[in-house]
Amino acid sequence: MSKTIFFLAKIFNEEKYATDFVSGKLFANRLSYFKKLEEAEGANRGDQHEGVVSWHQPDQVQVEINGRTLIDLAGPVSTQMNWHDHLNVFCIYAAHSGDFVNVTPENMTDFKKYLEIPDDCLKLGQHAVLVTNFSQFIERVKSAVQAKNYGLNAGLVEYYNPETFSGNFTEEESVFKKRDEYKHQKEYRFSIDSGAEGKTPMILEIGDISDITMRCNVADINKYLEIKLPQGELA
């Protein structure tokens, strides 16, 4: 089921970075950065399993080394592609419709709660920028990438249960698959292929976006959120 994206949110720990974003500077780390990032708390920015192309439960895969079969595997067996490490990735929170097909007076309170940004995301910084025109933002990113002749894939990240899932992803879609402990992030991701190997981040210039954004304190984001039905009901 396709999801409707209502707005995007980017949270920064320094005001300067929020200002840079509004001016159209998108800071995109390499995928290898997120794979190696160690954090005090899990399921935030770092993820050693980024870009997994195969994830098999231990009872559904056989591993052999020099003709010798390994048994009693401790956990799932995963495979990653080295070339994914060089992709530049820009991540942003996406408030979308999820599994809600229709919003009614009966479920609008639950829908509003679903759209609210969770505490685990809010604690990533004090400064927030909301993108209020999703389609315009996408078009400006696409135009900037095309002007550089870079490759681009973009979309919502989908989340899988690492304890039950067993299977493969294509090399392209694997960059948009993450374990479900990250599902609170509701991430929309841009994967940019500059063709250059290395660990250097990218700053993609898309032009001033102050006309399609609003700035606020992180603590106020959910206070601004209001759901209004055509009949006039509010949540």
Q: Give mean pLDDT, residues 152-176.
A: 96
Percent of the chain with pLDDT over 90: 72
Is the predicted pLDDT of residue 168 greater than 90, yes or no?
yes
Instruction: Give me the amino acid identity at 15.
Output: E
DSSP 117: P
Tokens, residue 151? 């490759």
Q: What is the pLDDT of residue 59?
A: 79
Q: What is the pLDDT of residue 37?
A: 84
Of the candidates 136, 145, 14, 140, which has an alpha carbon nearest to the alpha carbon of residue 89?
145
Q: Domain map of the chain by residue range?
A: 5-54+81-224
**Average pLDDT of every residue of the chain:** 90
Is the predicted pLDDT of residue 40 greater than 70, yes or no?
no
> Per-residue pLDDT tens for 5-26?
999 999 999 999 999 999 999 9
Q: Which residues partner with 27 through β-bridges?
A: 203
Percent of the chain with pLDDT over 70: 89
Is the predicted pLDDT of residue 42 greater than 60, yes or no?
no
pTM: 0.89
Q: Which residues partner with 89 through β-bridges?
A: 29, 191
Instruction: Give, in order, the Cα–Cα distances in Å from 206 to each of 36, 69, 152.
Output: 28, 52, 14
- The torsion defined by the Cα of 33, 37, 43 and 45, in degrees rounded to 10, comes to -50
From the CB of residue 20, how many other CB atoms can be counted at a distance below 10 Å? 16
> Per-residue pLDDT tens for 209-225?
999 999 999 989 898 88
